[in-house]
Amino acid sequence: MTDLIYIAVIAVPVIISLILLFGNPKRKSTKISRLVYLTIVFIFTYLPIIVLVIFSFNSGRSTGVWEGFSFKWYEELLNDDRIKSALLTTVIVALSSAVISTVFGTVSAIGIFYMKKIPKSIVMNVTNIPILNADIITGVSLLLLYNILGIPLGYASLIIAHISFNIPYVILSVMPKLKQMDNNIYEAALDLGATPTKALVNVIVPQIMPGIVSGFLLSLTMSMDDFVISLFTSGPVVSTLSLEIYSMTKRGITPEINALSTIIFVIVIIVLVITNIKDPQSNGKKQRA
Amino acid sequence: MKPLPKFRLTRTAFAYPYLVFAIIFLVAPLILVIFYSFTRQIDNYSVYKNFENSPEIIIDNLDFIGYDEDSSLSRIGTYYYDGEKLTIVNYRPKHPETYRVFFEDGKISNIEEYDGEELIAQDLDNVKFLNKLTGFYFTIDNFVRFFNNGDSMKVFLRSIYIAFMSTVFCLLIGFPTAYVLSKMKERTRNIVSVMFLLPMWINFLLRTYAWRTLVEKTGIINTILGSVGLPAQNLMYTQGAVILVMVYDFLPFMILPIYNTLIKIDRSLIEASYDLGANHYRTLFRVIFPLAIPGISSGITMTFVPAITAFAISKIMGGTQCATIGEEIERVFNNDMWFGSAMSVIIMVLMLASMFLISGKDSDSDNIGGGLI
């Protein structure tokens, strides 16, 4: 019964707006309905986040009942060692795995690019595995591997797991840039006397740089946001922010964590605004990250 | 040109470390999961020890698997008593709360279940404490157990239903959004599409938890309903709540690929359709929609696959009544890797089947996941 209510609540406005907004764009009703539709989707997208931000300023312990304005939870955040260490772990794991997988992935992408067609397509299909596979299966299967190999769960296992699901993203963002690259420039560099290594560093790498950067940002995001794979591969001692939040959902969340995510959100907005003002060209890549 | 052929070889060699890495960390784990799903552990018992008479023994550390009414497998295993291992080699359910346990020396005992946390075994004398030697044997028991059991099948079908509904709603909301976005001026749509992605920078568990404060019995939605004079709705811990949050969480994955294909559609095709007399709806269904199919199918894959295995969302929003298959895997895996692996394999097969169905037509391997990246 409740399902039917949800279906009605969502379906009726959707159907009405569908009819209106796919109409003639010059008609006023179309324009208005498009605006209304987008606004509704925006409200849907931002409603929980607004709630999250508002309750980070709550003076009470609840994340749902408003008791008054205060910065109390921001102060608590500064004194909470658990969250601070979880944040530190997240940053360490995300940065190290992103850097390693960017370097490793870029080098591998160059190698794969020059492979013959059939081995290349096999390797690319293998590379797609972690992207297509469900997180939980990746996590479970890595746990089995660690069991067999006798790798203890901790920082090392966590970082290896993150590298293994980050590398494909790096390879897949570098690969198109390699395809777009003009191979004649590289050959010209060799003709002009550059050693292959020098040509690689000075000619190929600068051309695929946008791909490398977007691969790095993508893996940074992926590893910051990952929860399921970390759950299986981190072991009992190491805890990332996601895992900390997950254990909090069982104990009860305090607005402290709202405060932390508000800060992170504001930082992300500032970074995005700055990069968009500085370099509108790279906007396209940011979107994908 | 002379050094070129030589260097081509070395350039391919750049990929060799990755090949080794991929075989160990991408391929081997999957093979392991499949291997585990077709095997079970053998327990061999070697060391025997007498145990003093005791009217009541509490066996701790016993985890329940839950699907074992008919299977004699799941409660077999090693449990701990006073730091010593106690091995149950066989049992038959007597009635739902009591299990009759057969120990290796032929002793029989009734074991009662308390709170699902511990077992109390009665009349255990001369129980053998055993050391376990491990091995494995090939079997399809894990799969048989999964498909024979009503509970696990119910969870399985529920996950498919929830994932399917989430995907449908994501598509219904996502396609028009992507369409409207793609019709905007380039500058505006770049900014707006970034705004749709911003929430993804907040941890998804927090976003899910924020929905909880909205939907709860004493939550914001019910407060608003109450102030208007409507009765409070019991929205929390329902399938609807789980679907709502899944739609919320996966919507960007649906919007983006569709948006990316829509903005690449050649405008002259659409204009040709108008010139030939088609109205806007006809153009939408006959021109734009077919051209957007690759984006739609990659959007469906990117929503359906995570939705079917998502387990934190159903745990936070659905409580125990809406457990999904991902949750079951996580719960089972610590006690019974073999059964957990079998469940993972079933999901993998389901995912492959759905991907094959969705993107069977355009199997351009360069495009897999390419919608997003």
DSSP B197-246: HGGGGS-HHHHHHHHHHHHSTTSHHHHHHHHHTPPPP--TTSHHHHHHHH
Check if B11 contacts A (Cβ < 8 Å).
yes
In chain B, the number of structural domains is 2
**With an 8 Å Cβ cutoff, are B240 and A2 in contact?**
yes
Specify whether A134 is located in the same domain as A236.
yes
pLDDT averaged over chain A?
A: 85
Specify whether A26 is located in the same domain as A161.
no
- Chain B residues near residue A65 by CB distance under 8 angstroms: 218
* The domain boundary residue, chosen from B104, B137, B170: B137
For an interface test with A, give the residue of B7, B8, B18 to mutate (most A CBs within 10 A): B18
Q: Which residue has the tokens 């003002």?
A: A277
pLDDT in tens, A86-141: 999 999 999 999 999 999 999 999 999 888 889 899 999 899 888 888 889 999 99
Average pLDDT over residues A199-227: 89
Specify whether A51 is located in the same domain as A95.
no
- Chain A residues near residue B16 by CB distance under 8 angstroms: 111
B194: closest CA of chain A, how far (Å): 6
Q: CB-CB: which of A104, A140, A227 is closest to B344?
A: A140
CB distance A285 to A214 below 8 Å:
yes
Chain A residue with minimum CA distance to B248: A45
Asked, for residue B217, whether it belongs to a domain, the answer is: yes
- Chain A residues near residue B315 by CB distance under 8 angstroms: 249
**With an 8 Å Cβ cutoff, are B351 and A63 in contact?**
no
pLDDT in tens, A223-262: 988 999 999 998 888 889 889 888 887 777 788 888 888 8
Q: What is the greatest pairwise CA distance in chain B?
A: 94
Other C-beta atoms within 10 Å of A105: how many?
Answer: 30
CA–CA separation, B371 vs B294, rounded Å? Answer: 8
**What angle is formed at CA B44 by the lines to CA B41 and CA B47, rounded to 5 degrees?**
140
Specify whether B122 is located in the same domain as B179.
no
Helix (H, G, I), strand (E, B) or coil at B85: strand
CA–CA separation, A138 vs A45, rounded Å? Answer: 29
Specify whether A125 is located in the same domain as A42.
no
ipTM of the complex: 0.83
Asked, for residue A223, whether it belongs to a domain, the answer is: yes
**With an 8 Å Cβ cutoff, are B29 and A121 in contact?**
no
Asked, for residue A71, whether it belongs to a domain, the answer is: no
CA–CA separation, A8 vs B24, rounded Å? Answer: 49
For an interface test with A, give the residue of B201, B301, B358 to mutate (most A CBs within 10 A): B201
Q: Which residue has the tokens 């985890």?
A: B63
Could you say which residues from 176 to 235 on chain B have a Cβ atom under 8 Å away from some Cβ of chain A? 176-177, 179-181, 183, 190-207, 209-214, 216, 218-220, 233-235
Specify whether A244 is located in the same domain as A132.
yes
Average pLDDT over residues A29-58: 88
How far does CA B120 lie from the centroid of its chain?
34
Higher pLDDT residue, A214 or B67? A214
From B157, B254, B203, select the one nearest A228 (Cα to Cα): B203
Position B359 scores a pLDDT of 66
**With an 8 Å Cβ cutoff, are B172 and A112 in contact?**
no
Specify whether B218 is located in the same domain as B313.
yes
Average pLDDT over residues A265-278: 80
Asked, for residue A64, whether it belongs to a domain, the answer is: no
Asked, for residue B239, whether it belongs to a domain, the answer is: yes
Burial B207-219 (b: 16+ CB within 10 A, else e): bbbbbbbbbbeeb
- Chain B residues near residue A172 by CB distance under 8 angstroms: 369-370, 373
Which residues in chain B show pLDDT less than 50? 1, 8-9, 43-76, 78, 80-85, 87, 89-108, 112-134, 362-373
- Chain B residues near residue A29 by CB distance under 8 angstroms: none
Average pLDDT over residues A4-27: 75
Specify whether A251 is located in the same domain as A181.
yes
CA–CA separation, B104 vs B129, rounded Å? Answer: 10
Could you say which residues from 274 to 293 on chain B have a Cβ atom under 8 Å away from some Cβ of chain A? 279-281, 284
Q: pTM for the complete prediction?
A: 0.76
Who's near B88: CB < 8 A, 6+ residues apart?
A: B75, B76, B77, B79, B101, B103
Q: Is A150 left (phi over 0), alpha (psi -120 to 50) or beta?
A: left
Question: What's the domain range around B284?
Answer: 149-367
Q: CB-CB: which of A128, A134, A283 is closest to B347?
A: A134
Q: Which residue has the tokens 């709603």?
A: B169
Position B22 scores a pLDDT of 93
Axis-axis angle for helices B150-182, B337-359 (nearest 10): 40
* The domain boundary residue, chosen from B108, B137, B166: B137
Question: What's the domain range around A31?
Answer: 2-55
**With an 8 Å Cβ cutoff, are A48 and B16 in contact?**
no
Chain A residue with minimum CA distance to B371: A288
Helix, strand, coil shares of chain B as percentages rounded to 5?
Answer: 60, 15, 25
**With an 8 Å Cβ cutoff, are A173 and B373 in contact?**
yes
Position B373 scores a pLDDT of 34
Specify whether B184 is located in the same domain as B272.
yes
Position A61 scores a pLDDT of 79
Specify whether B126 is located in the same domain as B199.
no
- In this structure, what DSSP letter does residue A268 have? H
Instruction: At A214, give phi and psi (nearest 5°).
Output: -70, -30
Position A219 scores a pLDDT of 92
Of chain A, the percentage scoring pLDDT greater than 70 comes to 93
A84: closest CA of chain B, how far (Å): 16
Specify whether A29 is located in the same domain as A100.
no
Asked, for residue B122, whether it belongs to a domain, the answer is: yes
Specify whether A275 is located in the same domain as A139.
yes
- Chain A residues near residue B355 by CB distance under 8 angstroms: 132
Asked, for residue A14, whether it belongs to a domain, the answer is: yes
The burial of B21, by beta-carbon neighbours within 10 Å (0-12 exposed, 13-18 middle, 19 or more buried), is given as middle
Dihedral sign, Cα of residue B51, residue B52, residue B53, residue B57? negative
Specify whether A90 is located in the same domain as A50.
no
In chain A, the number of structural domains is 2
